[in-house]
Structure 1
Amino acid sequence: MSELNKLGLAEARDALRAGDVTSVELTESCLTAIDEADALNAFVHKTPEIAIERAKAADDRIKAGDAPSMCGLPIGIKDLFCTKGVPSQAASKILDGFKPEYESTVSQQLADAGAVMLGKLNMDEFAMGSSNETSVYGNAVSPWRRGNDEAQLTPGGSSGGSAAAVSADLCLAATGTDTGGSIRQPAAFVGITGIKPTYGRCSRWGIVAFASSLDQAGPMTKNVRDAAIMLETMCGHDPKDSTSAELAVPNFEAMLTGDIKGKKIGIPKEYRMDGMPTEIEKLWVDGAAMLKDAGAEIVDISLPHTKYALPAYYVIAPAEASSNLARYDGVRYGRRAQLAQGDGITEMYEKTRAEGFGPEVQRRVMIGTYVLSAGFYDAYYNRARKVRTLIKKDFEDVFATGVDAILTPATPSASFGLGEMTEADPVQMYLNDVFTVTVNLAGLPGISVPAGLDAQGLPLGLQLIGRPWEEGDLLNTAYALENAVGFVAKPGKWW
Structure 2
Amino acid sequence: MTDLTKLTAVEIAGLVASGETSAVEVTQAHLDRIGAVDDRVHAFLHVDTEGALAAARAVDERRAAGEELGPLAGVPVAVKDVLTTKGVPTTVGSKILEGWRPPYDSTIVERLRDAGTVMLGKTNMDEFAMGSSTEYSAYGPTRNPWDLERIPGGSGGGSAAALAAYEAPLSIGSDTGGSIRQPGAVTGTVGAKPTYGGTSRYGLVAFSSSLDTPGPCARTVLDAALLHQVIGGHDPRDSTSIPAPVPDVVAAARLGATGDLTGVKLGVVTEFTGEGAEPGVMAAFRDAAEALAKVGAEIVEVSCPNFKYALPAYYLIAPSECSSNLARFDGVRFGLRVGDDGNRSLEEVMSLTREAGFGPEVKRRIMLGTYALSSGYYDAYYGQAQKVRTLITRDFTSAFEQVDALISPTTPFVAFPIGSRTADPYQMYLADLFTIPTNLYGGPAISVPCGLSDGLPVGFQIMAPTMADDRMYRVAAALENAVGTLTPPAL
TM more than 0.5: yes
Conserved in 2, the CA contact under 8 Å of 1:90 and 1:127?
Answer: yes
Aligned-residue offset at 1:267:
0.7
Aligned partner of 2:324 in structure 1 is: 323
1:112 aligns with 2:114: yes
Aligned-partner SS, 1:261: coil
Which residue matches 1:332? 333
The equivalent residue for 1:472 is: 470
Distance 2:48 2:301 in 1: 49
Find the aligned partners of 2:30 and 2:298 in 1 and give their Cα distance: 42
Match of 1:159 in 2: 156
CA distance in 2, matches of 1:341, 1:197: 48
Distance in 1, matches of 2:102 and 2:67, equals 33
Shift of 1:12: 0.8
Deviation of 1:341 (Å): 5.6
CA separation in 1, counterparts of 2:376 and 2:274?
Answer: 34
C-alpha deviation, 1:253, in angstroms? 1.7
Offset of 1:288 from its aligned partner?
A: 1.5
**Aligned-residue offset at 1:474:** 1.1
Q: State the 1:422 CA deviation.
A: 3.0
Kept in 1, the 8 Å contact 2:185–2:448? The answer is yes
Alignment of 1:299-378 (within 5 A): 299-339=300-340, 342-378=343-379
1:276 paired with 2:285, answer no
Partner of 1:219: 216
Structure 1 partner of 2:8: 8
Paired residues of 1:330 and 1:337 also in contact (CA < 8 A): yes
SS at match of 1:305: helix
SS of aligned partner of 1:265: strand
Q: Structure 1 residue 62: deviation in Å? A: 2.7
Q: Give the aligned residue type for 1:35.
A: G
TM alignment of 1:380-419, pairs within 5 A: 380-401=381-402, 403-419=403-419
Q: 1:275-324: CA deviations, max 9, x gaps?
A: 42211111221121111111011111110101100000000000000000
Q: SS of the counterpart of 1:322?
A: helix
How far apart are the structure 1 equivalents of 2:395 and 2:191?
24
Query: Which string of whole-angstrom CA distances, capped at 9 and with x for unpartnered residues, describes residues 405-456 of structure 1?
Result: 1110001111011101132x2001001110000010000100000011112x
Bigger CA drift: 55-64 or 306-315?
A: 55-64
| Equivalences for residues 54-133 of structure 1 within 5 A | 54-63=55-64, 64-133=66-135
Give the share of equivalent positions with the same residue, in percent.
49
Partner of 1:52: 53
Instruction: Say whether the 8 Å CA contact 1:42–1:165 is kept in structure 2.
Output: yes
Q: Which residues of 2 match residues 448-487 of structure 1 at below 5 A?
A: 448-455=447-454, 457-487=455-485
The answer as to whether partners of 1:97 and 1:335 remain within 8 angstroms in 2 is no
Q: Name the CA distance, whole Å, in 1 between partners of 2:444 and 2:296.
A: 22
Deviation at 1:7, TM superposition (A): 1.1
Say which of 236, 239, 243 aligns to 2:236.
239
Distance apart, 1:368 and its partner CA: 0.3
Q: Distance in 1 between matches of 2:87 and 2:487?
A: 38
What amino acid is aligned across from residue 285 of structure 1 in structure 2?
A: R
Q: Which position in structure 2 is the counterpart of 1:428?
A: 427
- Mean CA deviation greater in 63-72 or 190-199: 63-72
Count of residue pairs the alignment pairs up: 485
Counterpart contact for 2:247–2:467, Cα < 8 Å: no
Instruction: Give 1:61 deviation, angstroms.
Output: 2.2
Which runs of 4 or more aligned residues in structure 1 lie more than 6 Å from their structure 2 counterparts after TM superposition? Answer: none
Q: CA deviation at 1:251?
A: 3.7
- Whether the 8 Å CA contact 1:405–1:467 is kept in 2: the answer is yes
Counterpart for residue 197 of structure 1: 194
Tell me if the contact between 1:232 and 1:249 (Cα under 8 Å) persists in the aligned partners: yes
User: Which stretch of structure 1 is more off in the superposition, 101-110 or 12-21?
Assistant: 12-21
Tell me which amino acid in the other structure corresponds to 1:239: P
Q: Secondary structure at the match of 2:149?
A: coil
**How far apart in 2 are the matches of 1:221 and 1:435?**
21
Q: C-alpha displacement at 1:137, in angstroms?
A: 1.2
Structure 1: gaps (5+ residues)? 146-150
Corresponding letter in the other structure for 2:473: L
Task: Indicate the residue corresponding to 1:262 in structure 2.
Answer: 263
CA-to-aligned-CA distance 1:80-130 (integer Å, 9 cap, x gap): 000000110101011122111000000110101101011110000000000
Q: In structure 2, list runs of 5 or more residues that go unmatched.
A: none
Amino acid at match of 1:476: R
Alpha-carbon spacing, 1:60–1:368, altered in 2? closer, same or farther (3 Å): same
Aligned-partner residue type, residue 89 of structure 1: T
- 1:7-62, Cα deviation, whole Å (9 max, x unpaired): 11111111112221110000000000011122111111110100010001111223
CA distance in 2, matches of 1:238, 1:17: 29
Q: What letter matches 2:98 in structure 1?
A: D
Counterpart of 2:166, as a letter, is: D
Shift of 1:2: 2.9
Does the 8 A contact of 2:126 with 2:155 survive in 1? yes
Q: Does the C-alpha gap of structure 1 residues 7 and 352 become closer, same or farther in structure 2, counting only changes over 3 Å? A: same
Question: What is aligned with 1:30?
Answer: 30
Name the Cα RMSD after superposition.
1.1
Contact 1:62 1:71 (8 Å CA) reproduced: no
Deviations 1:361-411 (A, max 9, x none): 00000000000000110000000000000001100011122x111110001
Distance 2:218 2:261 in 1: 22
Contact 2:199/2:241 (<8 A) preserved: yes
**Which one is further off, 200-209 or 282-291?**
282-291
Cα-to-partner distance string for 1:339-378 (whole Å, 9 max, x where unaligned): 4563101101100101110000000000000000001100
1:169 corresponding residue in structure 2 = 166
**CA 1:67–1:251 in 2, change beyond 3 Å: closer, same or farther?**
farther
Contact 1:70–1:110 under 8 Å retained in 2: no
